[in-house]
């Protein structure tokens, strides 16, 4: 179970989804989107629309010109050494992310932001230049494979691989 909601502080809005407050542990997780005054106005102009898919995925809709923006905040499960454990957490996460993305209007700009706990390898750049840029890391991990497959299937790019970063910041 998860808790979700929104709170306003002055002209700022915090929209969140998190692990249930009655069941918090050291491994609790959650996501949030913090809107400044201008973004809060854009959000309110589109009917204050937001949706928490679960404690790891949150979507807000912003009225912008010339097109509306759908922002999806994510916090993906970490890679587990236990393959069965990884599938029981990652499969539902990506299914929920796909369901959330499917709800976005085709005319909206979509920003999927957050921590995918993923490493994307240079090999993916050589085979899919439209998804992965030239600044990927040395090797892909399991979360990287899932992210790559998701982006390929949905015609998305892994944008941080298109910009050169310090090696410590080259993870998605």
Tens-place pLDDT, residues 122-148: 888 878 888 999 888 778 899 999 999
138-165 average pLDDT score: 91
pLDDT (tens digit per residue) in 71-100 = 999 999 987 766 655 567 899 999 999 999
> Above pLDDT 70, what percent of the chain?
87
Both tokens of residue 108?
């909206």
Of the candidates 172, 96, 105, the residue with the CA atom closest to the CA atom of residue 132: 172
Residue ranges per structural domain of the chain: 47-169
Q: What is the mean pLDDT of the chain?
A: 88
pLDDT tens by residue, 19-55: 776 666 656 689 999 999 999 999 999 899 999 999 9
Q: What is the 3-state secondary structure (H, E, C) of the chain?
A: CEEEEEEEECCEEEEEEEECHHHCCCCCCEEEEEECHHHHHHHHHCCCCEEEEECCEEEEEECCCCCCEEEEEEECCCCCCCHHHHHHHHHHHHHHHHHHHHCCCCCCEEEEEEECCCCCEHHHHHHCCCCECCCCECCCCHHHHHHHHHHHHCCCCEHHHHCCCCHHHCCC
């Amino acid at each position: 179970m998860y808790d979700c909601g929104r709170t306003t502080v002055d002209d700022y809005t915090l929209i969140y989804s998190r692990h249930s407050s009655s069941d918090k542990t050291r491994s609790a997780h959650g996501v949030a989107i913090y809107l400044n005054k201008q973004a809060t106005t854009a959000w309110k102009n589109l009917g204050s629309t937001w949706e928490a898919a679960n404690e790891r995925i949150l979507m807000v809709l912003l009225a912008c010109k010339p097109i509306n923006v759908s922002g999806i905040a994510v916090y993906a499960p970490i890679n587990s050494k236990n393959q069965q454990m990884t599938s029981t957490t990652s499969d539902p996460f990506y299914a929920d992310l796909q369901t959330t993305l499917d709800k976005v209007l085709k005319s909206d700009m979509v920003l999927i932001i957050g921590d995918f706990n993923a490493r994307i390898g240079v090999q993916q750049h050589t085979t899919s230049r439209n998804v992965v840029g030239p600044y990927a890391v040395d090797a892909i991990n399991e979360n990287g494979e899932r992210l790559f497959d998701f982006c390929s299937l949905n015609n998305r790019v892994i944008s941080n691989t298109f910009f050169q970063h310090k090696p410590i910041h080259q993870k998605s």
